[in-house]
Amino acid sequence: MNFSKKELSIFIEIVFSILFAIFFLPNFYENRLGTYDFNSTIKYIIQIVIFSIIYFSLAYTILEIFIKRKLINDERDVLIDLKSYKLGYILYEISLFSFIGVILSVAIFDSQMYQNNGGLVFMIIVWLLIVSFIKSVYQLYLYRTS
């Protein structure tokens, strides 16, 4: 299977989503039943930022070494970006309304659980990860089929 440079860069983003889920999601999953400690969040954010910088620097450097052809962003790329961002936007909208629904139902039916924000933080991160993953996979699908 022959992938173009653009398709490989999208694949790098997909792999990042998967690695993020493997390495960082367990931390948020462990705190999902309790009140989230925002002081320890800074430690996670620093870890995530450092991991992201190292991962993307390495991945794109390797990509540049092996594929020397320059990346052209032409009208087909713009069209595919628009289609994939449209899907991402719709999914974010659905996520937002779902999230508001969950917050309201939790607030109404279980006010004690409302104080335990670990679950809400975990839910937000999972949704964002899923939406980002679906958007990238759809973008890759469009590149392969159009």
Partner 1 sequence: MILKNILREVRQKKKLTQEELGDSVGVSRQTIISIETYRYKPTLELAMKLSMKLNCKIDKLFYFEKD
Write out the residues near partner 1 by the rule CB under 8 A.
Answer: 4, 6, 72, 74-77, 143, 145-146
CB contact at 8 A, 32 and 124 = no
- The smaller minimum CB distance to partner 1, of residues 76 and 86, is found at 76
At closest approach, how far in Å is the CB of 76 from partner 1? 4
C-alpha–C-alpha distance, residues 66 and 64, integer Å:
6
Nearest residue (CB) to partner 1, 131 versus 140? 140
Q: Which is nearer to partner 1, 48 or 63 (CB)?
A: 63
Taking the complex as a whole, how short is the minimal distance between the CB of residue 146 and partner 1, in angstroms? 5
Distance CA 132, CA 65 (A): 27
- Please state the closest distance from residue 145 (CB atom) to partner 1, in A: 7
Region of 140 (left: φ > 0; alpha: ψ -120 to 50; beta: rest) is alpha
Q: How far is the CB of 75 from partner 1 (least distance, A)?
A: 6
3-state secondary structure of 74: coil
Taking the alpha carbons at both ends of the chain, their separation in whole angstroms is 16
- Of 140, 9, 15, the closest CA to residue 67 belongs to 9
Q: Which is nearer to partner 1, 38 or 74 (CB)?
A: 74
